[in-house]
């Protein structure tokens, strides 16, 4: 467990604290000075530091989400999948989303010289247990402003999944179809059985995804016949 009072090894450098109001440069300076700190985010100029992670409420849902996205990436070229990667959005916002999927070619984000994502990935996913308030309020507004094209929030305690799609300057909340399936509008073939994911039925989750990977729309996307 990381205490918010962890002392930086850099002489006279204040520790990073929950609620600090910092510039991006100062946030990065303090964050990098604490090598054992696993997760901290700057959202609208305010520092948010993660609580200890419980397996049922966060660790396992996170792993299942990554497994679903990872299989899609395995069969879709020119994509980059990130797990808890820092994303530089602007001078007041440097989130560390649970998962992101970005286009390496022709996408809207880049990789900086020091190895960070800069700009908005096409898809961001958050596992929201203790962080549900910030994920559905402050972060949602920031991701909307930067035009993250699809934003998924898995509300673990509510047993619900929200899938938002950027459309004409606002987020539209997508609805699952009559069979309980979501279809990504940015990544063709990225299909999701909502109920199966929420109940931990990974075989069904991956089976539906495989159908998406076998679809003509995914084949067209892979062959470059359909562009983002």
Each as own residue / partner, the long-range contacts of residues 109-114 (CB below 8 Å, 24 or more positions apart, any chain) are 112/88
The tokens for 27 are 């946030």
Pair 187, 76: CB distance under 8 Å: yes
Pair 192, 206: CB distance under 8 Å: no
| pLDDT tens digits along 132-173 | 677 888 899 999 999 999 999 999 989 999 999 999 999 999
The tokens for 39 are 């997760």
| pLDDT tens digits along 5-55 | 444 444 467 888 888 888 899 999 998 888 888 888 999 889 888 777 789
1-5, 62-66, 178-182: lowest mean pLDDT where? Answer: 1-5
SS3 of 208-221: the string is: HHHHHHCCHHHHHH
Residue 131 is predicted with a pLDDT of: 63
pLDDT tier for residue 224 given thresholds of 50, 70 and 90: confident
As a whole number, mean pLDDT of residues 107-116 equals 95
Residue 170 is predicted with a pLDDT of: 96
pLDDT tier for residue 1 given thresholds of 50, 70 and 90: very low
The tokens for 222 are 């892979």
The tokens for 130 are 């203790």
Pair 181, 154: CB distance under 8 Å: no
- Domain 55-222, CATH homologous superfamily name and number: tt1808, chain A (3.90.1570.10)
Cα 73-120-75 angle, rounded to 5 deg = 10
pLDDT: which is higher, 215 or 132: 215
Residue in 7, 139, 124, 132 with CA at minimum distance from that of residue 58: 132
Residue 123 has pLDDT above 80, yes or no: yes
Give the chain's mean pLDDT: 90
Each as own residue / partner, the long-range contacts of residues 130-139 (CB below 8 Å, 24 or more positions apart, any chain) are 130/51, 130/57, 131/48, 131/50, 132/157, 132/158, 134/43, 134/48, 136/162, 138/43, 138/44, 139/43, 139/95
| Adjacent-strand bridge partners of 123 | 101, 150
Q: How many helices (H) and strands (E) does the chain have?
A: 7, 13
Residue 225 is predicted with a pLDDT of: 72
> What percent of the chain is predicted at pLDDT more than 70?
92
pLDDT tier for residue 130 given thresholds of 50, 70 and 90: low
Residue 4 is predicted with a pLDDT of: 40
Residue 83 has pLDDT above 90, yes or no: yes
> What percent of the chain is predicted at pLDDT more than 90?
69
Give me the sheet containing 123-128, strands edge to edge.
79-83, 99-103, 123-128, 150-155, 160-167, 170-173
76 C-beta neighbours (distance < 10 Å), count: 19
Residue 85 is predicted with a pLDDT of: 94
Residue 5 is predicted with a pLDDT of: 44
The tokens for 114 are 């020091």
């Amino acid at each position: 467990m990381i205490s918010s009072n962890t002392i930086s090894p850099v002489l006279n450098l204040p520790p990073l604290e929950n609620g600090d109001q910092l510039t991006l440069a100062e946030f990065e300076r303090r964050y990098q000075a604490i090598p054992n700190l696993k997760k901290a985010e700057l959202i609208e100029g305010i520092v948010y530091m993660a609580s200890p992670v419980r397996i049922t409420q966060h660790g396992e849902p996170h792993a299942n989400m990554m497994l679903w996205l990872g299989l899609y990436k395995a069969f879709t070229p020119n994509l980059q999948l990130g797990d808890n990667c820092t994303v530089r959005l602007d001078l007041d916002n440097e989130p560390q989303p649970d998962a992101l999927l970005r286009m390496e070619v022709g996408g809207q984000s880049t990789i900086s010289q020091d190895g960070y994502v800069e700009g908005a990935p096409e898809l961001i996913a958050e596992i929201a247990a203790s962080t549900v308030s910030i994920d559905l309020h402050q972060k949602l507004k920031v991701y909307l402003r930067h035009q993250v094209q699809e934003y998924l929030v898995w509300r673990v305690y509510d047993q619900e999944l929200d899938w938002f799609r950027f459309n004409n300057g606002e987020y539209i909340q997508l609805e699952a179809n009559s069979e309980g399936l979501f279809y990504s509008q940015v990544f063709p073939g990225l299909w999701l059985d909502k109920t199966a994911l929420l109940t931990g039925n990974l075989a069904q989750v991956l089976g539906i995804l495989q159908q998406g990977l076998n679809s003509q729309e995914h084949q067209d996307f892979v062959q470059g016949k359909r562009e983002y």
